[in-house]
Amino acid sequence: MKVTDYNQLLQQHETAYEKEQRQYNLIGIIRLVLAALILIMGYLGIKYADGAYWAGVGVLCAGFAFVYKKHQKVSRRRNLLRQLIQVNKDEIAYLNRTAIPFNNGAEYSDPTHMYTYDLDIFGARSLFHQLNRTYTFIGKNTFAKLLGGLLPNDQIVQNQHAIAELKDKTAWRQHIAAVARSKNDSAQKYRQLTEWAGTPPEKMSLTARILCVAGPVAFVAAVAYSIITGRYSSAVTWLFVFNVSHAFSHFKKIKALTVFSDEIDEILKNYGEILLAIEQEEFTAPKNIALQQRVANASKEIRTLSGLFSNLNNTANPLGALLVNGVSNYHIHILRRLYVWKEQHAVNINNWLAVMGEFEALNSLANYAANNPQFVFPEIAEDNRIEFTQLGHPLIPETVRVCNSIQFTQQPFRILTGSNMSGKSTFLRTLGINMVLAGVGATVCAEKAVIHPLPVLVSMRQSDSLADSESYFFAEVKRLKQIITAMQGQRSFVLLDEILKGTNSDDKQSGTIGVIKKVIAQNGTGVIATHDIEVCNTSNDYPLYLKNQCFEVQITNNELVFDYILREGICQNKSATFLMKKMEIIA
């Protein structure tokens, strides 16, 4: 989608919002008028002791209740439109490159992971930061896990079909996002809910169940007797006290639940709306249908749970709680229904929320595909073919992006040379990020791609670890050990950028050649970038496995010119010497 498409949607939602705002204001005025009339009619009823006035109060109260519910519906529609407006403003800001107003997933950054830290998958301006369109905790967590792993080939293909379908469901995707972002979800709220669902369900004793019915029935009977006979029965008082005492005996359990029920109530309403949208949508992609079938009737049950928590939270008003429990044991009935709900449905909560998170993650990748219609779904191969035609970095603007074609089907490992700033590291990240995207079913930044998905193993960014008393060199050696160990027993896609920088040139050269040979022995595919021209001679010993390619720098009009075009062979030009001479550092 283009900025103009989002601007059009923005205008539609702003127009609809203004209409709802006018209706909201009008109904608000009607509510005030009705409330004033109720007070006036009540006053007149008391003053003149005329039943007609009280009949009017009853009619006005019924009208007020109707208008109140209407006001709530309009308020919900207005709030949803407000969120839809912001969803489109965020997309416009992102595509105009004025802001990246999405969660960046910095909490998922892990320097020990085999590629996420090196390839900038998480953190500011990362892949996650720019693709993420999740707003629930489970959605964000699901998307982060997806980008941190590799799916089996059949699941990759299923994701491709699911994402291709969701790509064209812009209104549905934005509705999910608008609902999800309307309440501030968090890990704490999610865990409170899942931990509650994970504890064994309780059962109310038979005696308690009998008393919570018998007590209120007896109270009503005593009140009726007093009215009929015209004499107040002391049984009314004693039964009221008994019902309150019975309710108080369960107060500790009720209070434990109300500690978080007010926040959980609001989040559950959101979850219910998202699940309802999933249930009601029409899908054709097999994965989307399978996910939808896992949440059949889930929205109804989640909304029921939300209502139970909301009703249970009424204990916050002591006087109201005293009255309703003295008359009807209200909160014991709610507690019993909550126990029954938990026994019947709590086992499904994790599954329902997982589906919700899965759709949010898929929607993020579908939004990415919609924003980049020129990107393609790679053909998934199982014969070790990895071929990219006009491959580019998906996060570099199209206006400045330079694309290159490369294939690893023949000579699966490349030795890449080039001067500083020539584009070696960017190209390694381009390969890595597109392999990661391909491995989760997303589109890749290429004209065409055939990919045998492989585990991605990367050593590009190591640092000293003062906390662990490690030097840069030792941290790098540990990463290389981790990569070689991970390669055992499985073909892998390996990206190494100027390894062993923390040692002398001879040691670095022999060590680099040793690592290349180790990769060859493990049937590794990928690229190693190096400044050491001698390392390139290793290809003479393994002509069927190794190939030299390079990025060159041109010197034009006494200036360095980088074209970032991938070439065959070994780099020839030396930019460092030229720059130092130009800056008069050396003669």
Average pLDDT for residues 461-467, to the nearest whole number? 51
Q: Quick one: pLDDT at residue 465? A: 45
pLDDT tens digits along 97-152: 999 999 999 999 999 999 999 999 999 999 999 999 999 999 999 999 999 999 99
For residue 586, the model assigns a pLDDT of: 64
- Highest mean pLDDT: which of 77-81, 224-228, 476-480? 77-81
The predicted pLDDT at position 203 comes to 86
Please provide residue 445's backbone torsions phi and psi, each rounded to the nearest 5 degrees: -85, 85
For residue range 571-586, list pLDDT tens digits in order. Answer: 887 666 665 565 556 6
Whats the size of the chain, residue-wise? 587
**Cα–Cα dist 302/298, whole Å:** 6
Identify the top-confidence range among 30-39, 176-185, 356-365: 356-365
Instruction: Write out pLDDT tens, residues 494-516.
Output: 999 988 876 777 888 899 999 99
Give the pLDDT of residue 262. 67
Distance CA 251, CA 264 (A): 19
Q: What is the mean pLDDT of residues 528-544?
A: 93
pLDDT: is 151 or 267 the higher one?
151
pLDDT digits (tens, 9 = 90+) for 184-231: 899 988 998 999 899 888 888 888 888 888 888 888 888 887 878 877
pLDDT value, residue 205: 86
pLDDT at 464 exceeding the cut of 50: no
Is the confidence at residue 468, as pLDDT, over 60? Answer: no
Determine the average pLDDT of the residues in 477-486: 92
pLDDT tens, residue by residue, 292-343: 999 999 999 999 999 898 888 766 567 777 778 788 888 888 889 999 999 9
Q: At what angle do helices 472-487 and 505-521 cross, to 10 degrees?
A: 20
- Which of 240-254, 306-320, 443-457 bottoms out in mean pLDDT, i.e. has the lowest? 306-320
pLDDT above 70 covers a percentage of the chain that reads 93
Q: Is 278 exposed, middle or buried (0-12, 13-18, 19+ CB in 10 A)?
A: buried
With a CB cutoff of 8 Å and minimum separation 6, the contacts of 165 are 283, 284, 285, 288
42-60: burial string, b at 16+ Cβ within 10 Å, e else: bebbeeeeeeebeebbeeb
Lowest mean pLDDT among 280-294, 430-444, 523-537: 523-537
Residue 252 pLDDT > 80:
no
- Is the pLDDT confidence value at 437 over 60? yes
- Is pLDDT of 467 > 60? no
The DSSP bridge pattern shows strands 379-380 and 448-451 to be parallel
Residue 72 neighbours by CB distance under 10 Å: 11
- List Cα–Cα distances, 205 to 182, 210, 332, 339, 485, in angstroms: 40, 9, 12, 11, 58
Is the predicted pLDDT of residue 70 greater than 60, yes or no? yes
pLDDT at 411 over 70: yes
Q: Is the pLDDT of residue 277 over 70?
A: yes
pLDDT-based confidence at residue 239 (cuts at 50, 70, 90): confident
Judged against a pLDDT cut of 90, whether residue 283 lies above it is answered with: yes
- Is pLDDT at 520 greater than 90 in this prediction? yes
State the pLDDT at residue 207: 87
Count of C-beta atoms within a 10 Å radius of residue 317: 11
Q: Is the pLDDT of residue 164 over 80?
A: yes
Mean pLDDT of the region 253-282: 86
pLDDT of res. 574: 66
pLDDT value of position 435: 98
Tell me the pLDDT tens digit for each residue of 329-386: 888 888 899 999 999 999 999 999 999 999 999 999 999 999 999 999 999 999 999 9
pLDDT above 90: percentage of residues in the chain: 64
Average pLDDT of the chain to the nearest whole number: 90
